[in-house]
């Protein structure tokens, strides 16, 4: 189920010249989807998350809108689908009490009278935060503005999930208290393809692991373009970059899907999975977060760039991910 470009390492070991260092094991997963059936998709996501747990993964990312499928078009505007997505997300949250990795799940959610394409961060029986997609493609085969609202302007917001109010916005950085060095930011698909990516500012604000949940239908040459973008973003930001795209089960009426996943560290490819294969696929790699921190510290340019963008950097909210399960999250 997993294809890595380098042998998987035991926790705590490094592939670099610095020797043993602080490591964070991460996974980028693509899973089969049954379109407009969040209950079945939740089962698939949980099965895959448990497989990652068995491999001692600390952070697992799933594709954009993995809970419903990306290719359901106007069904994103149907309450029956959105209600089912929230119910399925609640199941994932409840099950996460017994799953160690932090999960980043793609789901459509309603907020302030609009529908948002979001990355939901789940850990220890609670939703830590919800990140909405900022850049909505509306060209060629894409028409996301038909269904979704942009996350631009939602910085500092909260979203209500059941009886809880949860941080909502593209200005969230998640800090794992029980996993030293795991400081991550999530963005969604098109957010990586624009001139100034949300993850670039997040890196300046302290995120060392950047996550991209993508659907991204496949076209000629697009796989190589994705690799180039992920590698370049990882190198520019002196960060790890996790990328996961939709695959099996998405509608092929108009588009094709390949399920590409990859993990980069400071411009170096650590792991990827084969494309077009059926079933769930998991790319796993150990990120040397100590090495990334040292590389940033040695670069005066990184600090200078941070100072140049101070007004944007200071707006980020740092969300702690507490150790232990929270059984009191009242949906």
Element (H, E) at 159: strand 157-161
Let me know the angle formed at the C-alpha of 23 by 17 and 25, rounded to the nearest 5 degrees. Answer: 125
Q: Is 189 tagged catalytic?
A: yes
CB of 85 closer than 8 Å to CB of 108: yes
3-state secondary structure 246-276: CCCCCCCCCCCCCCCEEEEECCEEEEECCCC
Which H/E stretch holds residue 306? helix 300-308
Q: Which of 29, 52, 86, 189 does the annotation list as catalytic?
A: 189
Question: Which of 52, 64, 144, 272 is flagged as catalytic?
Answer: 64
Handedness of CA 149, 152, 156, 86 (dihedral sign): positive
Residue of 133, 187, 230, 265 with catalytic role: 133
Domains with residue ranges and CATH for the chain: 24-321 (3.60.110.10)
Does residue 277 have an active-site annotation?
no
pLDDT by residue for the chain (331 residues), tens digit each?
Answer: 545 544 343 333 333 333 457 899 999 999 999 999 999 999 999 999 999 999 999 999 999 999 999 999 999 999 999 999 999 999 999 999 999 999 999 999 999 999 999 999 999 999 999 999 999 998 888 889 999 999 999 999 999 998 899 999 999 999 999 888 899 999 999 999 999 999 999 999 999 999 999 998 888 888 899 999 999 999 999 999 999 999 998 888 888 888 899 999 999 999 999 888 888 999 999 999 999 999 999 988 999 999 999 999 999 999 999 876 676 677 6
Query: Would you call 222 a catalytic residue per the annotation?
Result: no
């Amino acid at each position: 189920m997993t294809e890595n470009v380098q042998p998987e390492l035991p926790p705590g070991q490094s592939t670099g010249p610095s020797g043993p260092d602080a490591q964070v094991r991460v996974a980028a997963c693509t899973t089969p989807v049954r379109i407009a059936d969040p209950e079945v998709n939740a089962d698939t996501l949980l099965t895959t998350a448990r497989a990652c747990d068995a491999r001692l993964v600390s952070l697992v990312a799933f594709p954009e809108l993995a809970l419903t499928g990306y290719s359901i078009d106007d069904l994103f505007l149907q309450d029956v689908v959105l209600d089912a997505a929230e119910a399925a997300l609640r199941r994932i949250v409840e099950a996460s009490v017994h799953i160690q990795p932090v999960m980043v799940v793609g789901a459509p959610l309603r907020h302030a009278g609009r529908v948002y394409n979001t990355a939901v961060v789940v850990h220890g029986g609670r939703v830590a935060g919800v990140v909405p997609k900022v850049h909505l493609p509306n060209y060629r085969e894409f028409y996301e503005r038909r269904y979704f609202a942009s996350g631009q302007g939602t910085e500092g917001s909260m979203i209500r999930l059941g009886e809880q109010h949860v941080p909502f916005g593209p200005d969230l950085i998640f800090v794992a208290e029980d996993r030293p060095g795991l400081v991550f930011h999530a963005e969604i698909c098109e957010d990586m393809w624009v001139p100034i990516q949300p993850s670039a500012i997040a890196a300046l604000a302290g995120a060392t692991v950047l996550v991209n949940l993508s659907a991204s239908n496949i076209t000629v040459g697009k796989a190589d373009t994705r690799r180039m973008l992920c590698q370049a973003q990882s190198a520019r930001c002196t960060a790890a970059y996790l990328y996961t795209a939709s695959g099996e089960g998405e509608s092929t009426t108009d588009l094709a899907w390949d399920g590409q996943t990859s993990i980069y560290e400071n411009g170096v490819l650590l792991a990827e999975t084969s494309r077009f294969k059926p079933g769930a696929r998991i790319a796993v790699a150990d990120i040397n977060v100590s090495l990334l921190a040292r590389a940033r510290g040695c670069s005066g340019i990184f600090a200078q760039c941070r100072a140049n963008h101070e007004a944007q950097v200071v707006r980020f909210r740092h969300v702690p991910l507490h150790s232990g399960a929270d059984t009191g999250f009242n949906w």
